[in-house]
A and B are shown apart, each in its own frame.
Chain A
Amino acid sequence: MPAGPYDVAVVGAGVVGAAVARELSRYELRLAILEAADDVGTGTSKANTAIWHTGFDADPGSLEAALLRRSHPLLERYAHEAGIPIEKTGALVVAWDDDQLARLSDIEERARANGYLRTRRLSPDEVARREPHLGPGVRGAVEVPDEGIVCPFTTPLAFATEAIANGASLFLRAPVTAARREGGFHVLGTPRGELAAAWVVNAAGLRADEVDRLFGHETFTIRPRRGELVVFDKLARRLLSHVILPVPNERTKGVLVAPTVFGNVLLGPTAEDVEDKTATATTAPGIARLLEAGRRILPALLREEITATYAGLRAATEVRDYRIDVYPEERYACVAGIRSTGLSASMGIAEHVRELLVDAGLTLRAKASARPVRMPPIGESARRPYEDEAAIAADPDHGRIVCHCERVSRAEILAACRGPIPARSLDGLRRRTRALLGRCQGFSCADEVTRLLADATGVPPAVLVGLAEPPRPGPLGGSA
């Protein structure tokens, strides 16, 4: 017997799938979320530039442009309600030569075409006053005051947590590998057994094309585009206050420098087409290219220590736009090709998908009380527990800093091991608390953090450190 039946199954708990699930969870629906990985937000969602885009530079007339624009204020409001780290830093599109200077007008025009009217031209002097550490040779810039940065880890977790609070079932380690129709339902096959749902939303990210084919479609292919990134030490944070964007040309979008919500500075990304959907290794040439670009943009950055390097894959397709299609007869929606702007556009995409589903015949009745969530304050713009007298008074474990570089308290780590979507891995703990993400990379705390996680979750240490396989998860009908 398949689990369910559910009214809607969302395939994929990246930021897009989680946003769609959250949106639908506000209505009277039986809702399931199927995720291939062992956590929410582990694919493209966790390894990107974490920029909160306005969409000023999207292709005018594209669905991407429309949904970025729609999403921007939604995400701002939601982030403040839910405690997702977000900062409206503003961005400067900086021109470094005549050719780029000439292109600034195109950028302004494109912003206007996208309905974004708040750009402003800055002279080299104004740029220097705003960003005194930029390298020599700045010819001018376009300021985009509403661009910002947002936490790529907390955002999908908040969406999924709210969906669960509203009654959705989340199934992890449940990749969808088969699909058939039976008695008016889709029956989705996973290694954990089958699940039946009336409607399916495919938000499988890098695997969206494979899932699409399970439904008999052959319309697009995901071509992963790898982006490598370098994260610099927090001591570099004072070197800039805006997101510094490059002027794109026909060949490349270029390399940006941005603050992060954890108080670091990020440099990247590269853009390289790869075949393998798991090719998230960093490369020597990729990192070297980034450092070369960074040396020009912000020379002092290169004197600081590097805290992390990573690579993510963008889910690009044959076309330069999102591919969001609903097939009413099939009761199937495909939300694919979200490329590199999914974090920013997620809430706009979710509303758009909900509207398409209603148009296609899904009946929605709003819940009397949809529950808001409040995520732990892990961003630098909020008061962190280690500096919060009341939090420490309420729980002295907030005064016990375990991860010193990121100032993560013992209480925060223990809290992340509980709750509706508990951390079950060191990576999961990193994304929920910042523990181990700092400059020492565990020199001073990996032992204690691992021990705390093992003791609090019951996951054996050998599993946490990858020396033993985790036990097979139970069937879908059972617990998540």
Chain B
Amino acid sequence: MRRRSVDVLVVGAGPSGLAAAAAARRIGAGEVLVVERDREPGGVPRHTHHTGFGLRDLRRLLSGPRYARAWLARAERAGAEVLTETSATGWCGPTSIRVTRPDGLWEIEAGAVVLAQGCRERPRPARLVPGDRPAGVFTTGSLQRAVFLAGLPVGRRAVIVGAEHVSFSALLTLRHAGARAVAIVTEHERDQTVLALRLATAARMRVPILTRARVSRIVGSRRVEAVEVADLDGGEPTTIPCDSVIFTGDWIPDHELARLGGLTIDPGTRGPRIDDAGRTSRPGVFAVGNLVHAAEAADVASRCASAAASAVRRYLAGEGWPSPVPVQVEPPLRWISPNAISPGASGVPHGTFLLRAERFAGPGTLEVRQGERRLREVRIGRLVPNRSLRLADDWIRTTDPDAGPVLVRFRAS
């Protein structure tokens, strides 16, 4: 096994990894290496061909692949090195990663490691959808890669499972591939996207959205022939003939490396627990992007990643590794990110925590407490599952590093 030393090793060359690498270079964090397992850098936007990328970070509206190229250019211009076909397979030390590449096995010893592997959609088995196991079952990710990267046939009639932003992205991909979506199925009582996106896609294409419904069985021998859809309110199940099923959303972070390294995992996000600056539980290891908030739009993920760079540089300059207080949520909230606050923290990236709910709720109040002390109370309109709510960080200076976990909870009014 060959060895190499760098100041900063970034694992994953999606928007977050590239943004973290670019920022680390710009502020003088030394030699920055990004390793990417895929054949090309860019992450998920590389195979998301519709527009809508870049507004919040690059201040332009770009297609996914152009957005991915723009971030690659930024990282490389800043002097970061990006290695593709380079898979991180394990740890050799606290901040040392083992990789497999076409030129052999390497141990990369880093001053600091930034994990940025992103997330994936839960596939059909993880959602426990019973029935036959024919071909034609996709996630948005596998659908988009099949269409845009490999030019593979994806069928003619698809049922989309899920009604969050990415579900409508799948709809656009199907249209591009010449396939028709015949239904969108969501367990919730409404879709969870924004009106504009729904109107521009499902409404225009006249795709019915079946709410309070669940795909309860897949039927087909070689290829999907139909799905059975159960009515969660007790009505009769219906059968929808189709040749593809696209399971969308329901994200899970690609946290394998984090877990193999023994990092503390946040029970809500299921990514590594991170503090206000992206620090994980292990000194020298940071985590950014959709690995710690699965899934946000690429431009949100990249902005949070950039913010971690200054903490990386300070750590390399000798700053200690603080012990944070955890930030927890209770139902109907599912997770909060960041989910820890280190002593002396003055703010989180872009001044807001990201919060997710497991169901529709509201109006009501969000209450931030530490023990008996109420740190903040904000009135909010409603909670929408699968869509982030932002909570201002103006209270974090009032947290007491010795007073135990901070709890964020929702109270309906």
Residues in B whose Cβ lies below 8 Å from that of A447: 142, 145-146, 149-150, 152
- Closest 10 interchain pairs by CB? A466-B223, A441-B123, A447-B150, A466-B135, A396-B102, A466-B222, A447-B145, A399-B102, A443-B141, A282-B130
Q: Evaluate contact between A400 and B223: CB separation under 8 angstroms.
A: no
Q: Evaluate contact between B130 and A392: CB separation under 8 angstroms.
A: no
The distance in angstroms between the C-alpha atoms of A309 and B129, with both chains bound, is 9
Residues in B whose Cβ lies below 8 Å from that of A306: 125-126, 128
Interface flags for B75-98 (1: CB within 8 Å of A; 0: not) read: 000000000010101000000000
Q: Evaluate contact between A441 and B139: CB separation under 8 angstroms.
A: yes
The distance in angstroms between the C-alpha atoms of A441 and B85, with both chains bound, is 20
Residues in A whose Cβ lies below 8 Å from that of B139: 440-443
Q: Evaluate contact between B136 and A466: CB separation under 8 angstroms.
A: yes
**B190 proximal to A (CB < 8 A):** no
When the two chains form the complex, which single residue of A278, A282, A392, A393 contacts B100, counting CB atoms closer than 8 Å?
A392
A444 and B120 in contact (CB under 8 A), knowing A404-B87, A461-B153, A466-B136? yes
**B350 proximal to A (CB < 8 A):** no
Q: Evaluate contact between B141 and A392: CB separation under 8 angstroms.
A: no
Q: Evaluate contact between A284 and B85: CB separation under 8 angstroms.
A: no
Q: Tally inter-chain residue pairs, CB-CB below 8 A.
A: 142
**A386 proximal to B (CB < 8 A):** yes
Query: Can you name 8 A-B pairs with beta carbons within 8 Å?
Result: A306-B128, A387-B100, A442-B139, A446-B145, A447-B152, A448-B39, A465-B223, A466-B223
Beta-carbon nearest neighbor of A388 in chain B = B105
**A190 proximal to B (CB < 8 A):** no
Residues in A whose Cβ lies below 8 Å from that of B130: 281-284, 286-287, 309
**B155 proximal to A (CB < 8 A):** yes
Beta-carbon nearest neighbor of B135 in chain A = A466
A281 and B132 in contact (CB under 8 A), knowing A441-B125, A447-B150, A465-B223? yes
| Among A283, A309, A387, A426: residue with most chain B CB under 10 A | A309
Beta-carbon nearest neighbor of B87 in chain A = A401
- Distance from B93 Cβ to chain A, minimum over Cβ atoms (Å): 17
When the two chains form the complex, which single residue of A307, A308, A446 contacts B142, counting CB atoms closer than 8 Å?
A446
**A305 proximal to B (CB < 8 A):** yes
Residues in A whose Cβ lies below 8 Å from that of B120: 440, 443-444
Residues in B whose Cβ lies below 8 Å from that of A305: 122, 126, 252
Interface size on B, residues (CB 8 A): 50
Q: Which residues of B line the A interface, CB within 8 A? A: 1, 37-39, 85, 87, 89, 100-105, 120-126, 128, 130-136, 138-139, 141-142, 145-146, 149-150, 152-155, 216-217, 220-223, 243, 252, 256, 259
The distance in angstroms between the C-alpha atoms of A298 and B366, with both chains bound, is 37
Q: Evaluate contact between B89 and A386: CB separation under 8 angstroms.
A: yes
**A397 proximal to B (CB < 8 A):** yes
Residues in A whose Cβ lies below 8 Å from that of B104: 389, 392-393, 399
Residues in A whose Cβ lies below 8 Å from that of B132: 280-281
The distance in angstroms between the C-alpha atoms of A78 and B130, with both chains bound, is 37
**A368 proximal to B (CB < 8 A):** no
- Distance from B370 Cβ to chain A, minimum over Cβ atoms (Å): 27
The distance in angstroms between the C-alpha atoms of A462 and B89, with both chains bound, is 33
| Among B121, B133, B155: residue with most chain A CB under 10 A | B133
| Among B37, B103, B150, B155: residue with most chain A CB under 10 A | B150
- Distance from B318 Cβ to chain A, minimum over Cβ atoms (Å): 34
- Distance from A276 Cβ to chain B, minimum over Cβ atoms (Å): 12
Beta-carbon nearest neighbor of A436 in chain B = B142
**A467 proximal to B (CB < 8 A):** yes
The distance in angstroms between the C-alpha atoms of A447 and B256, with both chains bound, is 22
The distance in angstroms between the C-alpha atoms of A281 and B217, with both chains bound, is 9
Residues in B whose Cβ lies below 8 Å from that of A386: 87, 89, 100
Beta-carbon nearest neighbor of B150 in chain A = A447
Q: Evaluate contact between B102 and A407: CB separation under 8 angstroms.
A: no
**A450 proximal to B (CB < 8 A):** yes
The distance in angstroms between the C-alpha atoms of A462 and B155, with both chains bound, is 9
Q: Evaluate contact between A467 and B243: CB separation under 8 angstroms.
A: yes
The distance in angstroms between the C-alpha atoms of A350 and B243, with both chains bound, is 42
**A235 proximal to B (CB < 8 A):** yes
Beta-carbon nearest neighbor of B37 in chain A = A404
- Distance from B263 Cβ to chain A, minimum over Cβ atoms (Å): 13
Residues in A whose Cβ lies below 8 Å from that of B126: 305-307, 439, 441
Q: Evaluate contact between B145 and A307: CB separation under 8 angstroms.
A: no
Residues in B whose Cβ lies below 8 Å from that of A262: none
Residues in B whose Cβ lies below 8 Å from that of A180: none
The distance in angstroms between the C-alpha atoms of A305 and B125, with both chains bound, is 9
Residues in A whose Cβ lies below 8 Å from that of B221: 278
Q: Evaluate contact between B102 and A397: CB separation under 8 angstroms.
A: yes
**A310 proximal to B (CB < 8 A):** yes
When the two chains form the complex, which single residue of B131, B141, B152, B252 contacts A281, counting CB atoms closer than 8 Å?
B131
Given contacts A235-B259, A450-B150, 16 further A-B contacts (CB under 8 A): A281-B217, A284-B128, A306-B125, A308-B125, A389-B1, A389-B105, A392-B100, A401-B37, A439-B126, A441-B123, A441-B126, A442-B123, A444-B38, A446-B146, A461-B153, A466-B222
Residues in B whose Cβ lies below 8 Å from that of A307: 125-126
Residues in A whose Cβ lies below 8 Å from that of B138: 442, 446
Q: Evaluate contact between A309 and B223: CB separation under 8 angstroms.
A: no
Residues in A whose Cβ lies below 8 Å from that of B141: 440, 443-444
